[in-house]
Amino acid sequence: MKLLNSKMQGVERKSNLLRTLEIILAQQDKIKIVSDLAFDAVDLDGSNFLEKAELSEVMRQVAHEMKVKPPTDGDIDAVLKELDENTDDKVSKEEFLALIVQVLRKMLESEEDLQATINQQITNSAGGAGGQGYKK
């Protein structure tokens, strides 16, 4: 019974990451601050824009840290095109902020999907335990 109760309690819970992402996304002003700090860290020439060379450097560093294949020039061009809403061949702080928000929303969506899957598995295993658990 104790096992069943602990499984049922899990259905109602959200993961820490899910709760954290919801809190972060509700605080747009703080996202802007963090986004601006991240942007400034990669804006190597201080132009208030990320040009292709800076974007390339960041993407290659991230790939190296994640131990994945580095992006090709085509990959970098595609990312620049995706981020560059006004087609000036550079990324502004506002365009970068949109990227950060989009990434956070995708993370939230993925975590919600994972949580729903886990909750369904818990519900299924809790429901199945009632009829099969103990025989007299």
Record: fold of 17-123 = Recoverin; domain 1 (1.10.238)
Domain ranges across the chain: 17-123
Q: Is the pLDDT of residue 65 over 60?
A: yes
Task: Give the predicted TM-score (pTM) of the model.
Answer: 0.66
Query: Half-sphere exposure (CA, 13 Å, Cβ side) for 102?
Result: 8
Residue count (the chain): 136
Cβ-based burial of 55 (10 A; exposed 0-12, middle 13-18, buried ≥19): buried
| CA dist., res. 20 & res. 37, Å (int) | 20
What's the token pair of residue 27?
């605080």
pLDDT one-digit tens code per residue, 73-93: 999 999 899 999 999 999 999
pLDDT digits (tens, 9 = 90+) for 101-110: 888 888 889 8
